[in-house]
Amino acid sequence: MRATSFALTNVLGSVYERGPICFTPDGSTLLSPTGNRLTLVNLQTQASRTLPVELRRTVANIALNPARPYIAILIDVDGRAVLVNLYAGAGGGGVALAHINFGAPVRAVRFTPDGKHLAVAHGSQIKVWQTPSTLTREFSPFVLHRTYTGHDDDVLSIQWSPSGQFFLTTSKDLSARLYSLDPIPFPSLPGTSTNGKRQPTKFRPKTFSGHRASVLSAHWSADERTIYTIGKDGSCFVWRIKPEEESEGEDEEEDADSDADGKKNRAGPSTVSRSHDSRLELARARWGIAERHYFNAQSVGVNCADYHPESSLLVVGFVTGVFGLYTLADEGACTPLHTLSISSEKVAAVTFSPDGAWLAFGCAGLGQLLVWEWASESYILKQQGHYADVRCIAYSNDGQIAATGGDDGKVKLWNTTSGFCTATFTEHSATVAALEFASKGQVLFSASLDGTVRAWDLLRYRNFRTFTSPEPVQFGCLAVEPSGEVVAAGGGGAAADSFDIFTWNVQSGKILDVMGGHDGPVASLTFSPSGSGQLISASWDKTLKVWEAFRDASADTVGLTAEATCVAFRPDGGEICVATLDGQINFFDPRDGAKQLGILECRKDIAAGRRLDDKVTRQGNEGAACFTSLHYSADGRCVLAGGNSNWICLYDVRERVLLKRWTVSKDVGLDNTQDRLDSRRLTAAGPRELIDDISDEDELTTFERLDKSLPGAQRGDMSKRTTRKAARITSVRFSPTGRAWAAASTVGVLVYSLDPPTAAIGVGAHGGAAAAFDPLDLDMELTPASIIAACARGESLGALVGALRLGEAPLLAEVYEKVPVKEVPLVASQLPQVHVGAVLKLVAQQLHPQSNSPHVEFHLRWLAALLTTHGAFVRKRAKADLAPSLRLVAACLYELRANVKRTADENLYALLHVWDGMQRKGADQA
């Protein structure tokens, strides 16, 4: 196993958190912020991919370069930004190109249509930067083009004109303004100055005022002659260029066209009518309110809006979770087309697809991400994560489905290939503490703090069995016997009243046994994978018990040095590992009276970071660090561990050493992510982050101030979090395939894999190669055990293809060498062409002298069969993807030929020497 080669591919359980969302120019991919990372959702292939690039805090703004849609800028809540190539790097994983700190929170960011400039708004200023080059490395890639002022309060949005020469800004000062990218000198035209008044010589920003609340956004029409401004109070003002005669009749009114002396420019409109330069036309134009529209839901407030110029459609998201779609095509009319409630929380972000057919919505309160086709009134995408922390995770037998349980009482099923949620179960009324799949059949078991254990049918998506105890118990751990006939659960948690272990018969639903003996909460349970009926329980009473679940109620007790937090069985049932509260991992042999095999000291590896309210240093916190979840890899060589810290650790079982550590998150807004606290952020009242600083960034309306929590609510309070999140791991699991593993954390379920996710995000359109589909993958469960069993049954082709898909070198070599010699031509002829290159590489590696393989003829037979059967395919791809494999084969054959020639020459000389000796001996005897 390439244990150190796992890379982040996705984050499940959290599809949207905050900030804007945007489409790529072709409309096939949606960009959505996920914590301090960015998720790409491909709407054509129905797959998602999370980039490994991280910001220091939660992503607050994103913008995509229209001219180069593979370039995006991400900005966190503190104003630190990173320019990212979305499809560069290994497997199209994304690469950070440049960093910049804007020094203040950024409210809006937008690229020009040609992608050459970038406008950023923070505070009342707008700064336009030149877009850094993506082809060369520069010491200071961001170059400031110009700074624009004029607003009296924070700027909320920026919108460029279609030509890219002008941009609109809206602000909390109840106004919008029109700026020019570059200064526009006005030519001196004869006859344009009257009454001795001089003509202005440069463009002056236009001001659009009249709203009674903050102006959320402003939008251009397709012809750049109409502007729409949307107010937070539900108002929509339509601004148009005034006709020439109307402008000439206004003598004394002052506006943004006044010159430096405050005198009116009367020549502007006539100049517009005579000028053929659209830039000068817009610069000299005078704007006025043509219509005023008010939405029906203006009393509850508007939270976001977007406008599609080509179709003249306006979409507005309200704080009630309702959105409205309006058409502004009719002159002087704002006609509603649709009004739909999509969430119980406010709509945080909304945007049109480039063709205007789809609407994308983000609801931060419940973590919802929706794409709606307004013409057919149907959902293209409807995803929702856990709105509370994810507590547990489990993989199905084939690794294609991952189940998650959260503090919100929901059980969700995720497709590990696409990263999408396929089903949600809401029957639990409290935290889901443990999940387990049955070894046979499509059955999932879940244990909850509501005192029930439920069995779910994944074919009909229903709860077909519910197990309860005679007295109410909060179940915190779960184990399922390999046959799937027996399920066990134990009470866990500090508030547990019962320390017994309960077992039930799945078919009848009746309780089989109640096993008592622990003096503290049962932290973890696991059945032996070998089917021997052994049940291991680890408890807070510093003991580990080995039960013979089907024989008697007695148990062998093993004393531990500290409270046990979790226990895991090796896949072959020959070893168990137990994590304790003192930061150790203990290994035992359950077949030999729980004989101890070794100890791992992990306190330094899992050392937690500082919390803002900690009174001691990081070194002082090391004593409280421990693992709370363990899991063996598919081959049993490694153990994955996670706990109440910012680290995920992978250990080698045989060598008892740490192989690699992964960071949960680099978000400094979370506790446990920093070794040292920033003393500059300390105040007389304590750390600045712990002070309730209620700013007007998100002005609450009357609807938002209502207390929506009810006494006796079973599913938790939906109000905002009042405590800080801390980076921690609640559950870790290896996929049965051994190619991936997942960790349930504060920021979602982190999925790490050995396979590049190019097919998932559609990188093929940008130069990447998409993974091929092989129908043989549907004929068997791709696990090492199933492949070895298929090989033993004589299914050589299926076993070889399965081993190739898993990519485990020891397993692949074992299956390859077990193919009978007489079946080599048949297996080679039926081998799918997508695997020809991999088999050629495998044959070359086995043929290499350094492999010390004695089966040279066997490898040559394989090589001859492959080249004979797939010769045309190999010749066609010889200069493409098969070139490395063919070069390796040629090098091995050349070295084999040299070795054979050298051996033959040595044998020839030896024979000649022997023959010469025999001839001399015969002559002497004669």
Contacts of 342 (CB under 8 A, 6+ apart): 321, 322, 323, 361, 363, 368, 370, 372
Q: pLDDT band at 692, cuts 50/70/90? A: low
3-12, 28-37, 474-483: segment of lowest average pLDDT = 3-12
Q: Percentage of the chain with pLDDT > 90?
A: 22
Selected residue with higher pLDDT from 436 and 296: 436
Asked whether residue 405 falls in the same domain as residue 549, the answer is yes
Average pLDDT over residues 566-577: 89
- pLDDT number for residue 246: 54
pLDDT digits (tens, 9 = 90+) for 507-553: 888 888 888 888 888 989 999 888 777 889 998 988 888 888 777 66
Task: Give the pLDDT of residue 189.
Answer: 46
Least confident of 421-425, 563-567, 723-727: 723-727
The Cα–Cα gap between 75 and 807 comes to 38
Residue 800 included in any domain? yes
* pLDDT at position 118: 93
Calpha distance 121→424 (Å, rounded): 40
What's the rounded mean pLDDT across residues 655-669? Answer: 88
**Cβ contacts of residue 813 below 8 Å, gap of 6+?**
842, 846
Question: Domain check: are 535 and 472 in the same one?
Answer: yes
Residue 331's pLDDT is 67
Share of the chain above pLDDT 70, in %: 82
> Could you tell me which residues come within 8 angstroms of residue 447 by beta carbon, excluding any fewer than 6 positions away?
432, 433, 434, 435, 453, 475, 476, 477, 478, 489
25 token code pair? 């120019």
Number of domains observed in the structure of the chain: 4
| Same-domain pairing of 815 and 852 | no
Given a cut of 60, whether residue 21 has pLDDT beyond it is: yes
Task: Tell me the pLDDT tens digit for each residue of 244-276.
Answer: 655 444 443 334 333 333 333 333 433 333 333
User: Do 906 and 808 reside in the same domain of the chain?
Assistant: no
Last residue of a domain, one of 541, 559, 577: 559
Q: What is the pLDDT of residue 787?
A: 84
| Residue 425 shares a structural domain with residue 554 | yes
Asked, for residue 721, whether it belongs to a domain, the answer is: no
- Domain containing residue 23: 1-149
The Cα-based distances of 341 to 324, 537, 700 in angstroms read 9, 48, 20
Confidence (pLDDT) at 91: 55
Q: Say if residues 641 and 653 touch (Cβ distance below 8 Å).
A: no
For residue 898, being part of any structural domain is answered with yes
- Strands 729-734, 686-687: parallel, antiparallel or unpaired by DSSP? unpaired
Measured distance CA(538)–CA(462) in Å, rounded: 31
Q: What letter would DSSP give residue 772?
A: P
Burial 520-554 (b: 16+ CB within 10 A, else e): bbbbbbbbbbbeebbbbbbbbbbbbbbbebeeeee
Last residue of a domain, one of 559, 593, 620: 559
Choose among 350, 471, 433: nearest CA to 731: 433
Q: Is 614 inside a domain boundary?
A: no
Q: Which residue has the higher pLDDT, 781 or 763?
A: 781
Query: Does residue 881 come out as left (phi exceeding 0), alpha (psi in the -120 to 50 range) or beta?
Result: alpha
Does 445 share its domain with 534? yes
**31 and 120 within one domain:** yes
Residue 604 placed within a domain: no
Residues 805 and 862 in one domain: no
Residue 99 forms part of a structural domain: yes
pLDDT score of 187 = 62
Q: What is the pLDDT of residues 450-476, one digit of tens each?
A: 889 999 999 888 999 999 888 888 898
Q: Left, alpha or beta for 776 (phi > 0: left; psi -120 to 50: alpha)?
A: alpha
pLDDT higher than 80, residue 617: no
Residues 783 and 926 in one domain: no
pLDDT at 257: 37
Q: Which helix (H) or strand (E) holds 280?
A: helix 278-284
Tell me, yes or no, whether 484 and 550 share the same domain. Answer: yes
pLDDT 10s digits, 320-355? 888 989 988 766 678 888 888 888 888 999 999 999
Quote the pLDDT of residue 168.
94
13 located within any domain: yes
805 and 905 both lie in a single domain: no
CATH number of domain containing 409? 2.130.10.10
**Average pLDDT value for residue range 638-665:** 90
Residues 811 and 840 grouped into a single domain: no
- Is residue 234 predicted with pLDDT exceeding 60? yes
pTM over 0.85: no
Q: What is the mean pLDDT of the chain?
A: 80
Residue bearing the bigger pLDDT, 516 or 370: 370
Please indicate whether residue 260 or residue 195 has the higher confidence score (pLDDT).
195
Structural domain includes residue 478: yes
Mean pLDDT along residues 870-888: 76
pLDDT at residue 601 in the model: 86
Task: Single out the residue in 518, 537, 559 at which a domain terminates.
Answer: 559
Is residue 763 scored above 70 in pLDDT? no
| Residue 307's pLDDT band (cuts 50, 70, 90) | very high
Query: Tokens 């961001």 sit at which residue?
Result: 142
pLDDT tens string 711-729? 544 444 444 445 678 888 9
Instruction: Give the whole-angstrom CA distance, residue 564 versus residue 583.
Output: 10
pLDDT at 271: 37
Among the listed ranges 111-120, 278-287, 469-478, 852-861, which one has the minimum average pLDDT value? 278-287
Is pLDDT above 80 for 885?
Answer: no
Q: State residue 277's pLDDT score.
A: 61
